[in-house]
Amino acid sequence: MARILVTEKLAEGGIEKMRAAGHDVDVRLNMSPGDLVDAAADADAIVIRSATTVNAEVLAAGSHLVVVGRAGIGLDNVDVAAATRRGVMVVNAPESNVLSAAEHAMGLLLAQARNIPQAHAALVSGSWERSRWTGVELHGKVLGVIGLGKVGALVAQRALAFGMRLVAYDPYVSPERARHMGVKLMSLDDLVAESDFVSIHLPKTPETIGLINADLLARAKVGLRIVNTARGGIIDEAALATSIASGHTGGAALDVFEAEPCTESPLFSLDPVVVTPHLGASTHEAQDKAGETIAEQVLLALAGEFVPFAVNVGAAAASETVRPFLPLAEQLGRFFAGLHDGMPDKLEIDYQGGLASEDTRILTLSALKGIFAAGTEEPVSYVNAPQLAEERGLEIREAVTATSRDFVNLVTLRSATHSLGGTLSGIRGDPRIVMVDDHTVEVPPAPHMLVVRNDDSPGMIGVVGSAIGSAGVSISSMAVGPSAGGQTALMVLSTDRPVPAATVADLRKSKGILDVHQVTAI
């Protein structure tokens, strides 16, 4: 049972999910920074939203910390670098509010185009002003989407339904993907020159701060209207106010601001401006999803399993192609560690087949996690596995091969003395070990396994089977593979429990037995 410290209001479903897993969930709201340091001392996990700052002092106090979870997207309030140095995983819920954010962007787009908030305010104050608040249609207008991530893609999809023409700026999106989305990619300068509306969907980084500035606005199409539901600071607000006041920029709809909470701005006095107080994620559905998603991520981290939304893992989130191979890669790592008496100096990992076109860095981390989990008492995670490799002097080389002779996909681990290959088999994608020390075999990974290399001569299977049976151990599965030259053979056996060490020692002394390794794959 772990202690999970929750410092801000979280959806009850998330709280209950963590408690149902058997953990002690300690909800403490409105703590001072000093109280947070004290409360972190014996916490295994801290769950926050946007108001709590987890800095280096908090992380240092949390000597048992495994994970910090942010129920939302932004991580400005977490010292991710300090967490990584301490081997603490940082996770967020990046997809919890994408639908809400996209819908809010569309709502602001419509509100700005049709002056809905201004007309409402005038009417409830007693003024019937039909002619003053004449708007424009979206149909046939050009929408420039700056950032084609998840939210940007959803906005583009919805804008197409309104009959808008779409252009986009995103240097990380391929033209082919953009074409599939019905979007034409172009430079930022060309985008603002051609667009009637712009919707911003970028992260806040040193490169994006002030991206929409006075110079860019001056080069933009006259009458351009800007929507920002991403992050404050991407737009130079003073420059935008000046451009709108001059009539060059047609208007804006803003949900985020450089400094929040924001209650005063030169933008607020301008008629063509619609503003909301950072409501992009403020739906019941988004809050529920954020709470439940972060609970799931924290539980996975505490269990030492793959955490899809870990931001400091050092590898991209696993794709749908890669994800099924994560358990296999860890199982191969555990098996590989068992084949070695000590840690090898070098590890080569080769991804063959369809995997060669994917980002496989997370698979390498999974393999390292399996290798070190088999040989150290130190907790091993996707965060500290590379650090352990560096500390232990393990040199890692990754390679990809687009073709695989016998399998659709194949993962191979190789050192100077041993080799191991695995794949997923059948419709269900069952894991299979298909090569050990360059001998072809096929056996499912199991908690208790024995690898026996012997002379390729009659009776050797009987020698091994008799020894194991005499020890009261049952063989669950077995695969036999000859060497390429035919002089030796390899047996890989799964057993219902570990083979006693004395039996293993006796087997090693048996005539014709060249080597015996007891390994664990699960």
- 12, 260, 390, 395: which one is catalytic? 260
Q: Position of tokens 């709108």?
A: 244
Coil vs helix vs strand at 92: strand
The single-letter code of the amino acid at 354 is G
Number of residues assigned to the chain: 522
Residue 414 appears among annotated catalytic residues: no
* Cα 302 from Cα 381, distance rounded (Å): 10
> Could you tell me the two tokens for 178?
């953009």
- 70, 231, 414, 432: which one is catalytic? 231
* Cα 343 from Cα 490, distance rounded (Å): 22
Q: If we measure between CA atoms, which residue out of 353, 459, 342 comes closest to residue 402?
A: 353
* Cα 108 from Cα 114, distance rounded (Å): 10
Given a contact cutoff of 8 angstroms between Cβ atoms, the answer to whether 46 and 62 are in contact is yes
Q: Position of tokens 């496989």?
A: 360
Residue 305 appears among annotated catalytic residues: no
* Cα 290 from Cα 9, distance rounded (Å): 11
Residue 260 appears among annotated catalytic residues: yes
* Cα 209 from Cα 76, distance rounded (Å): 14
- 278, 414, 439, 448: which one is catalytic? 278
Burial 8-41 (b: 16+ CB within 10 A, else e): bebbeebbebbeebebebeeeeebeeeebbebbe
Report strand pairing: 513-519 vs 449-455: antiparallel
Burial 200-213 (b: 16+ CB within 10 A, else e): bbbebeeebeebbb
Q: If we measure between CA atoms, which residue out of 283, 286, 288, 307 comes closest to residue 15?
A: 288
Q: Catalytic amino acids?
A: 231, 260, 278
